[in-house]
Amino acid sequence: MATAVAETAARTRFKVKAMSLEACSCAHGCNCQFGGFPNEGICEFLIGYEVRDGEFGDVDLNGVRFVVAAKYPNAIHEGNGHVALFIDEKATADQVNAIATICTGAQGGMPWEAIAATVSRLEGPIRKPIEMNFDGAGSSFSVGDVLEVRATPLRNPVTGEVNEVHITYPKGGFFWNDGSVVTTDTMKITWSDLSFDHHAKFGAIAEVNWTNQS
């Protein structure tokens, strides 16, 4: 117990509140949210983050944008993931190091501490220009000519009206607690062995909160 307390105390404290737009290869709803396994057998996803309030030690993370791209041959928890981390070229060196440290789970904190154990190949941090726009169901992000995600609302097939759908975790979820569900107008990437293009698949917009402090 004393060792665990000492290790926690030695960590660089961080807290991050960010908006996220995630898109994956699952059908609408994403069975990973319910049964733990992807609809299509494989898991391919792109998640864009924009920090709204964050710090890593004395490093201010407000406004930093970054994108996590990944593919897994099966469910995430079954491992063997290939992940690439892109961080906006406008971020400072200290901010890049902080985001990379958080996202690799090196200083603890969920969900990244758990995800780190599932990654067999990691690329990055890769500094690229990142465009990001959080505008409800029309949110989007892109990384140069490497990748792009554009969300669009779910619509009633009879009336054409927008369907507002949420997935909520009253006791707290793995990535987020309340996700506003959308679908993908565009979701594509071409980067080394990370290459996929999915249309009309699952997407969610949510606020995330991370820390390595209890």
Q: How many CB atoms lie within 10 A of CB 184?
A: 22
Q: How many CB atoms lie within 10 A of CB 170?
A: 7
Q: Does residue 153 belong to any structural domain of this protein?
A: yes
pLDDT at 90: 97
Q: Does residue 9 belong to any structural domain of this protein?
A: no
Q: Does residue 193 belong to any structural domain of this protein?
A: yes
pLDDT at 9: 53
* Residue 10 DSSP SS3: helix
Q: Does residue 4 belong to any structural domain of this protein?
A: no
Q: Does residue 98 belong to any structural domain of this protein?
A: yes
CA distance 47 to 16: 16
Dihedral pair phi/psi, residue 207, rounded to 5° = -90, 135
CA distance 2 to 180: 42
Q: What is the DSSP string of 61-95?
A: -TT-EEEEEEEESS-GGG--EEEEEEEETTS-HHH
Q: Does residue 1 belong to any structural domain of this protein?
A: no
Please give the chain's pLDDT, 214 residues, in tens: 333 443 555 789 999 999 999 999 999 889 899 999 998 899 999 999 999 999 999 999 999 999 999 999 999 999 999 999 999 999 999 999 999 999 999 999 999 999 999 999 999 999 999 999 999 999 999 999 999 999 999 999 899 999 999 999 999 999 999 999 999 999 999 999 999 999 999 999 999 999 999 8
pLDDT at 42: 93
Q: Does residue 2 belong to any structural domain of this protein?
A: no
Q: Taking the complete model, does pTM exceed 0.85, yes or no?
A: yes
Structure tokens at 192: 């080394």
pLDDT at 196: 96
Q: Which residue has the tokens 């964050």?
A: 54
Q: Does residue 5 belong to any structural domain of this protein?
A: no
* Residues written for the chain: 214
pLDDT at 190: 97
Name the domain count of the chain. 1
Boundaries of domain holding 187: 15-211
